[in-house]
């Protein structure tokens, strides 16, 4: 997946959203309690994730360690 990453955090709702190319038409799929993945409508490629109650799940915002419910592959990255 290639494109610009956008990160949005709603402090009042405690909701974190991370997207790659967020302007693509997409749909959300709840994969566990408070975790939604967003997929491209045409390709079904995962292009984003939404995490409800993010602050509770992260414990500390200094060092954020979350168990994501999917694999992330950075080996294809070219800088």
Task: Please list the rounded mean pLDDT of every run of 10 residues in the chain (79 residues).
Answer: 77 90 85 90 90 81 60 55
Instruction: Report if residue 65 sits inside a domain.
Output: no
Lateral strand order in the sheet of 15-20: 5-10, 15-20, 46-52, 35-40, 26-32
Report pLDDT for 76.
Answer: 54
Instruction: Look up residue 20 and give its two tokens.
Output: 């790659």
Instruction: Report if residue 35 sits inside a domain.
Output: yes
Report pLDDT for 79.
Answer: 41
Where in the sequence is the domain holding 36, given as residue range(s)?
5-56
Instruction: Report if residue 73 sits inside a domain.
Output: no
* Predicted TM-score (pTM) of this structure: 0.70
According to DSSP, the residues that pair with 8 across neighbouring strands are 17
Instruction: Report if residue 62 sits inside a domain.
Output: no
13, 50 Cβ separation under 8 angstroms: no
The domain total for the chain is 1
């Amino acid at each position: 997946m290639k494109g610009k990453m956008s990160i949005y955090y709603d402090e009042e709702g405690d909701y974190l959203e991370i997207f790659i190319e967020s302007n693509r038409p997409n749909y959300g799929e709840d994969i566990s309690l408070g975790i939604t993945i967003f997929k491209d409508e045409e390709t079904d490629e995962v292009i984003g994730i939404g995490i409800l109650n993010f602050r509770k799940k992260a414990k500390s915002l200094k060092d954020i360690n979350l168990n994501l419910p999917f694999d992330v592959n950075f080996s294809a990255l070219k800088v």
